[in-house]
Amino acid sequence: PPWSRERGARPRAGHDAAMDDALQDLLSPEEAAGAFRNEQVSQIMQAYLDENAAPELLPFRGELVAELREQLAGQEEQIAEITEGEGRTVEEVFTASLYQMDIDRVKYALAKYLRVRILKLERVAGLFRADLAPELADAAAELRRKISDEERQFAGELEKLYEAHIDDAVLRHLPEDGPETLRSLGDADICRPPRTDRFVFCRVNETVDGFLAHETAEPATWEEGDVHVAPYAAIKSFVEDGRMSLSAPHFEDPQRPLADAA
């Protein structure tokens, strides 16, 4: 399938090397050359690493996700034709099973990317409140720009459920002016912006001249392939346009206790 590693790349494990050898034996040279190239899989894996390391939600990679889903659907149809058709050979069934393993691996990478975005979105779902404080309007507009239609629907429905729960469990039991007071006090805490001053590890994908890590730093040139530690805010734009990539997870799972995440 088109999402396997490039030929000649170092295998991740022994069974991967065996799979590559088996596939190359079963395919023609031209088919094998095409079966071991797919930049999109590398991109979705890097998108997950970036999302997992960034303290804020990054712009959704909608085009990449759509292309991968289309490829997955097409490859699964081909596998079904091989495994369900009549007169199939043992070699064809064996090849199909190896392709299915690659499909499952890509599905897992795609699911991890989407899951970490949902976990981060849950933290800022308060920005979808109908009666949002005016000072949070810019943050809400920025968030809506970064997420997909499906994520926007999820966040809106989640906030409605949360509001209904709070109204039923707490607010309806308070005096007449109590609910409005609590809502105004809770806006800043529920919709707290992420800390973009945190330091993150980054790899330079394209040489950057005149880079300023902070206001008092001297302009520097970061060469392609360099690895640096810098405040996320200083490299945010480079991460979003692909000139830098993040590594080393920094995102804190909201299900973890705050004491553990500190």
pTM over 0.75: no
Residue of higher predicted confidence among 35 and 247 = 247
Position 79, amino acid: I
Query: Which residues 6+ apart lie within 8 Å of 107 measured at CB?
Result: 72
pLDDT digits (tens, 9 = 90+) for 179-215: 565 555 555 555 667 788 888 999 999 999 988 887 7
Q: How confident is the prediction for the chain on average, in pLDDT? A: 75
Range among 190-194, 240-244, 251-255 rated most confident:
240-244
Closest CA to 37 of 23, 48, 25, 51: 23
Residue of higher predicted confidence among 6 and 197 = 197
Residue of higher predicted confidence among 129 and 98 = 98
Per-residue model confidence (pLDDT) at position 128: 80
Closest CA to 1 of 67, 98, 85, 94: 98
How far apart (Å, rounded) are the C-alpha atoms in residues 116 and 61?
13
pLDDT digits (tens, 9 = 90+) for 130-164: 777 777 788 888 888 999 999 988 888 888 887 77
Q: How far is CA 4 from CA 43, 95, 114, in A?
A: 13, 13, 21
How far apart (Å, rounded) are the C-alpha atoms in residues 223 and 206?
7
Residue of higher predicted confidence among 247 and 183 = 247
210-229: buried (b, 16+ CB within 10 Å) or exposed (e) per residue?
ebebeeeeeeeebeeeeebe
pLDDT digits (tens, 9 = 90+) for 49-89: 999 999 889 999 999 999 999 888 888 888 888 777 777 77
